[in-house]
Each structure stands twice: as C-alpha cells, then as structure tokens.
Structure 1
Amino acid sequence: MKKMCLVILVLLGMCSCGNHYQFPIQHINSVEVIHLLEDSLLNVRALEVVKETNGAYFLASNGKAGHIYSSDDKSLNVVYPISMAPDSIKNNFRSLAITSKNGFGLSIESPARLYKIKNDEKKLVYQENHPKVFYDALDFWNDQEGIAIGDPTDSCLSIIITRDGGNSWSKIPCENLPNAKVGEAAFAASDTNIAIVGKHTWVATGGKSSRILYSPDKGETWQAFETPIIQGTETTGMYSIDFYDALNGFAIGGDYTAPEANVANKIKTSDGGKTWRVVASGENPGYRSCVQYVPASNGKKLVAVGFKGVDVSNNAGDTWRHISDESFYTIRFINDSLAYAAGAGKVSKLHFN
C-alpha cells in the first residue's frame, strides 16, 4: 500500500503546478527502404505527400508526373507516367506544390513554366523567358497564396507570388527585395529551399554567398540574414532548409562536387533564422541535398538524404548517425515513422524504426 501511495504521489508531482510530463521520444535507429518504382530514366527532385490518403505525387526531370496511392487492400500502387496533355516544350520539373484543390509544377530553365495541374489536365499560369532564368523551389502558405523562388535575373533573387489560388503570378521587383550578393543563387536539388510556418517564410540561398531571406508576412516584406555555412564557390552553401516551428530551423548542404566534406555544412537556429550556428562540423554527414524534421518529434529528430545515403539525428542536429547507403535527392514525411523519398531512378517508401 505504501508503494502504491508513493507511485501516486510521484505521478501527481509530475502533473501538478503546470508541469506536464513528457515521455521520452523514441530514437530512430534504422530504416527499411521499399522501392515502389524503379526506372533508370527517372530523375525525381519534386515530391509532395497527400497526408489525407497517405499517398504522394511526383514530377520528373523529363516532364512527366506520377502518383502513389493506397488501394482498397491498403497496398501501395504507383501510376507513372500520369497521362497529361502533351507539351511542345520539354519541361524539366524540379518543383511541386499541392493545395487542397490543385497541384502546381514548375520547370527550371527558360522558358520557365508554371502549370496548375488537376486530374489529367495542366494549365500554364506563368511563363518567364530570360537567359538567366532558373527556378528552384515552390510552396504555398494556404490554398490562395503561394511562392516560388529562383536564381537572380537582375540584382535580386527571383521571387514570384500568387494571391488568387495560383491562377496568376507576379514577380516581386528588386527594389522590394534584398540585393543579391555576387555569385548568390539557389540550388534546385530537392525543392526544399523554402520553409513556411504560418505567415513566416524562409528562403535558403547558396553559391558564393549563402544567406537566409526572411519574410514575416507571407512575402510582403523581406530581409536577409547571414549564415556560417560553408560558401564561397558556385557549388557550396545551403541546399535544403526546414523549420519545425517559428523559432527552430535547420539547414544542410555543403559541396556536391566534394560530397565527403563535412566541415560547416550543417547549421541550426533557435531564434527564427536571425542567427545560426554550425553543428557537427567535421562529423558526418557530408553533402546532403534535403533535410526534414520528423513530425511530432518536438524538433529533436531530423532526417537528411543525398546521393551518398540517409542520415538521422535524434538530438536536433547536434550529432548524426548514418543508417542507409540508399541514394535519394529528396524526402517527405507522412507521419513520424513513414516517408516517401525519390532520386535518380527510383521512388521509394521509407519506414523508420
């Protein structure tokens, strides 16, 4: 009876005075990779999940689209390519966004073309012709408002905005954006140059200069923050960014031409991106093209992927563990243990344990 009373007192102590006891979050130690689609001609950097159905859509560099869906028996199926109206221009898709009503696909080079996609139809909603045009990432704040970013064609990063559900897009004038530094651009490596939490928006640049462009008001105003990530050449800098909440974020990159290099290629912030610090410098992983927070992990668990494999952190990015040599460009989580990943020649399901 005394032991029972002691247990009750301990539990009451945990729950009293506003202290909410949180049970430890289980660490990720391994990953099971199931290839859903393998095709040597496939190259996928644009991938988005549909959490309501546990499915996903993806766009490829050959201009084709695919759909992962769950059948009645709960098995996963892939439709690739999805039959869409042919286009006279070969689109190299690196970016994809999904709202509750439509999908949007963005090609990279001139003429850069942004399509609104629904079922088997695609409608051109924005086109940009310029010898320097190169779009890198696409995202939405809500069903009506979205943003895409690309390399500079003038004195600033290219940023286009929609406020009408993606039917029309307009480019922000350079006088309303921070001036780009010499050699500053972005990388169309995984469609994760943009992070959004509520009205807050962060854009990761890279190259000879690698900074954070930040907007507190869904792209109305912007400011730039310096970062300590490796930079200075055209292939260095941030390749991917993610935020768990409005304060805590993580960015990863490096130099894809020197993928084993691991000095100053991982940085984190706890003040909403204003300041950043290098973590795990000189420790693996080296270059990675995509990093994502694991959902419902209190910002503690992160997964990074690249063509050199899959790595996990269980302590907010301070230390990392290599868990797979499987090569991917990008990853998106369905829940705290399941994700889809894609890259050269494959689209896969990942089960983290």
Structure 2
Amino acid sequence: MKYLSLFVFFVLLSCKPTFKVLERKNIMLDSLSIRAIYPTINGVWFGGTNSKAGFISFQNEAETKIVTLQKENTDFRSMAYANGSVYVLNVGTPANIYALNTFGYSASSNLIYTESGEKVFYDSMFIDAKTGLGIVIGDPTEDCLSVLLTENSGKNWKKIPCDILPKTVEGEAAFAASDTNVKIVDGVIYIISGGKKSRIFKSDKKGKTWEVFDTPIIQGEAMTGAFSMDFYNKRKGIIVGGNYENQKDNALNKAITRNGGKTWKIVAKDEAFGYASCVQFMPKSRGKVIYTCGTSGVYYSTNFGEKWTKILNDDDFYTLRFSGKNNIYFAGKNKVTKIKISH
C-alpha cells in the first residue's frame, strides 16, 4: 500500500495543468496605447489615448473602426458593454461618457454624461448585462470615492452623494491601470482602492449601503496598493498591484479572499511577478486559473494564486480579457494581441 500511495501521489503531481500558447497574432498600432478593452469573438472594442476608441478586428481588417471622439486630447481608460452599446469614459476633466453603436461596427457615438471639476478623475467602469446595474468609480472629489450608478444598462448615470458612501482617508484613491477596479457579481458591487490605503468596498444593496474591509497588500505611499481586482464569484476574489516605483518588489503584491473580501491572504510572497496592472480569472475554471500581466510579463496560476508560471515575456501589456476559455486578448503600448491557449 505504501508504494501504491507514492505512485498515486506522483501521478497527481505529474498531472498538474500547464498552459501553452497555440496561436498568437499581434496588431500593431501607431501612437495608440490601450488600457480598456471589451472582447468579442472577432476582436475587441477599446478605449485608448489621443481621444480614440472603436473596434479592432482580428478576422477582417475591413471591420476595424477607429474613431476620434472629441477634439480635446484625452485618454479613455474605462469601458463596458450593454444592450448593443459600448460605453467609454475618459480620465481627467471634463469626464465624458460616450455610447458607441456596435451594430455593423459603426462606432457612431453619443455623449450621454459629462462632469467637470478640478479633482474629477474616473478610473473604471462595469455594467452587469443580466440586471442592467452598472457602476463607474473614480478618485475622491470630496471625502469619498466618486461613484456613478446606472440601473438601465448605461443609458442614464447618477452620482451617489458622499453622505451614503464610506469615507476615504487622505491619499486613498484608485488607479486607472486596466479598467479593473470595480466588478458586479450576482448583484454584489466590489470596489478596490489604492494609494496610501488599499481597501475593498462592498455593497449588496445597489450602492445604498456599504461595507469596507482592509487588505494586506503593500500600501502607504501614493503609488502602492491594489491596481487590479477580479472576483470569480461572490466568495473568491484576487487583488494584484504592488509598488509602481519599485516594480520588481514581489513581496506583498498579490492577495486572495475566500469570503467575499472580509479577510485576505497574501500569496506567492517573494515569488513570481512584481508590479502587475491587470488580473483576470479564466472562465469555467472553478476559480483556480488566473492570468495577470504587468512589467514582469504575463503569468498564470492554476491553484488560486499560490504558485505562478510565466507564459509570455511581454512587459508592455496593460490589460487583458478572456474571450471564452481558450482565447485571451491583451492590450498595451501601441499593440493589441490575441493568443489561443491549451493545456
């Protein structure tokens, strides 16, 4: 029996899943960096620098449509999809939300929300396609995070007053790194902050009431904390980030939760990647498979963040999204990439 047990243990170890890149296609872009994407089967909708947004096709170049949304130069870093429209939002002031028509990849646009102010700076957007509940989050203009809500799939947005939002501490804000500071899962809203304080904000009442929980990720300076977050379900979540001014530091830059953000555990301390700008769960992986990108390259984990393996050396990707289980889109400095993976 002893030898049989050892054999079974060896087989289990040898069957640990590993991923390989089967196909890769790069589309190079001239002076167009991208931090916000929404994937489709054929390509990605995007928001980028130089006031540009649109659709990039990986199947038919004629379907690619890149438009300039306004004369003033800005950087669109937030986007979401709902009911045939892609919504894009820029950083800085004035903050403008445009609705892009996806029919026929026309990318014709309408301005549906605008906000001006010295401190206005929005970071991330998410719309739940099932319920129409959507949220935009940004840096504080008063003593709370800036939060916009929609309950009709992005057609109308309303700003939540500070008196019903949790108070932020001085130096606490968010990072517009990859459009992944906020997510809605089964009606629960999750927001991650960063900077001198990095916390999780949670609401299961459509933003009317909130809970706030501390995280153990590195924080305390302006460019530290969680830069990206994802939740697989209402319980399993992960945050990544680090110290942008010391991007090789991998001690306290990744943490997981198994109870919806109430408590967090540092994983892979002093291992794998340093600063990371985006993290995403693989669909239909039971929350075990995770991909991340940043200045250390592209890594994946098959055991809920405990161990990581590098799959791509690219250090210029800012964001990533899955299209199905086996296709991943990456976007970054002057390029968008699609890979097909297998294990």
TM-score (normalizing by structure 2): 0.89
Alignment of 1:131-150 (within 5 A): 131-142=118-129, 144-150=132-138
- Tell me how far apart the structure 2 counterparts of residues 199 and 94 of structure 1 sit (CA, whole Å): 24
Where 1:175 maps in the other structure, the secondary structure is helix
Aligned match for 2:177, one of 189, 193, 197: 189
What's the CA shift for 1:109? 0.2
* CA RMSD, Structure 1 to Structure 2 (Å): 1.9
Given that 2:229 and 2:278 are in contact with CA atoms closer than 8 Å, whether structure 1 keeps it comes out as: yes
Give distance in 2, aligned partners of 1:215 and 1:26: 37
Separation in structure 2 between the aligned mates of residue 285 and residue 88 of structure 1, nearest angstrom: 39
SS of the residue corresponding to residue 45 of structure 1 reads strand
Please state how far the C-alpha of 1:181 moved relative to its aligned partner: 1.0
Q: Report the CA distance shift for 1:266/1:76 in structure 2 as closer, same or farther (over 3 A).
A: farther
Aligned to 1:334: 323
**SS class of match (2:288):** coil
* Match in the other structure for 2:11: none
Q: Cα distance, 1:330 vs. partner?
A: 0.4
Q: Select the residue among 81, 92, 101 that pairs with 1:98.
A: 81
Q: 1:42 aligns with which of 15, 32, 41?
A: 32
State the distance in 2 between where 1:134 and 1:340 align.
Answer: 26
Matched, 1:321 2:309: yes
Partner secondary structure for residue 41 of structure 1: coil
* Whole-angstrom CA distance in 1 between matches of 2:301 and 2:168: 32
Q: Report whether the alignment pairs 1:303 with 2:291.
A: yes
Following the alignment from structure 1 to structure 2, what is the Cα–Cα distance between the partners of residues 172 and 151? Answer: 13
Counterpart amino acid of 1:258? N
Return the alpha-carbon distance in structure 2 between the equivalents of residues 34 and 65 of structure 1: 23
CA contact under 8 A between 1:213 and 1:223: conserved in structure 2? Answer: yes
The reply to whether residue 218 of structure 1 matches residue 206 of structure 2 is yes
Unaligned runs of 5+ in 2: 1-13
2:3 matched residue in structure 1: none
Alignment partner of 1:116 out of 91, 99, 112: 99
Q: Which amino acid letter does the alignment assign opposite residue 334 of structure 2?
A: G
Residue 275 of structure 1: which of 263, 280, 301 is its match?
Answer: 263
Which letter does structure 2 place at the counterpart of 1:191? D
Conserved in 1, the CA contact under 8 Å of 2:56 and 2:65?
Answer: no
Match of 1:238 in 2: 226
8 Å contact kept, 1:35–1:346? no
1:164 is displaced (CA, Å) by: 2.9
Residues 352, 313 of structure 1: alpha-carbon distance in 2 compared, 3 angstrom cutoff: same
Give the Å deviation of 1:45. 0.2
User: Who is 1:250 aligned against?
Assistant: 238
Residue 103 of structure 1 aligns with an amino acid whose one-letter code is V
Question: Residues 120 and 68 from structure 1, CA distance in 2 versus in 1: closer, same or farther, beyond 3 angstroms?
Answer: closer
State the Cα deviation string for residues 184-220 of structure 1 (Å, max 9, x = none). 0000000000122110111110000000010113323
Can you give the 5+ residue segments of structure 1 that lack an aligned partner in the other structure? 1-23
Q: Does 1:82 align with 2:73?
A: no
CA-CA distance at 1:237 after TM superposition: 0.3
User: Which residue is 1:286 aligned to?
Assistant: 274
Secondary structure of 1:168 counterpart: coil
2:116 equivalent in structure 1: 129
Q: Matched residues, percent identical?
A: 40
CA distance in 2, matches of 1:60, 1:168: 23
- AA matched with 2:172: E
1:19-41 CA-to-partner distances (Å, cap 9, x unmatched) read xxxxx997233335634321241
2:62 and 2:205 mapped to 1: Cα distance?
Answer: 38
Deviations 1:218-270 (Å, cap 9, x if unpaired)? 32321211000000000000011011111000110001221110011000000
Equivalent pair of 1:204/1:212 in contact (CA under 8 Å): yes
Q: Deviation string for 1:57-90 (max 9, x for gaps)?
A: 11111111232346xxxx4547555246x52322
* Contact in 2 for aligned 1:161/1:171 (Cα 8 Å): yes
- Cα deviation for residue 160 of structure 1 reads 0.5
Which residue is 2:192 aligned to?
204
Distance in structure 1 (CA, Å) of the matches to 2:341 and 2:220: 35
Distance 1:151 1:25, change over 3 A: farther
Instruction: Indicate conservation of the 8 Å contact 1:108/1:135, yes or no.
Output: yes
Deviations 1:117-176 (A, max 9, x none): 113321111111111111100011236321100000000000001123323211111110
TM-score (norm 1): 0.87
Number of residue pairs matched by the alignment: 323
Distance 1:228 1:121 in 2: 44
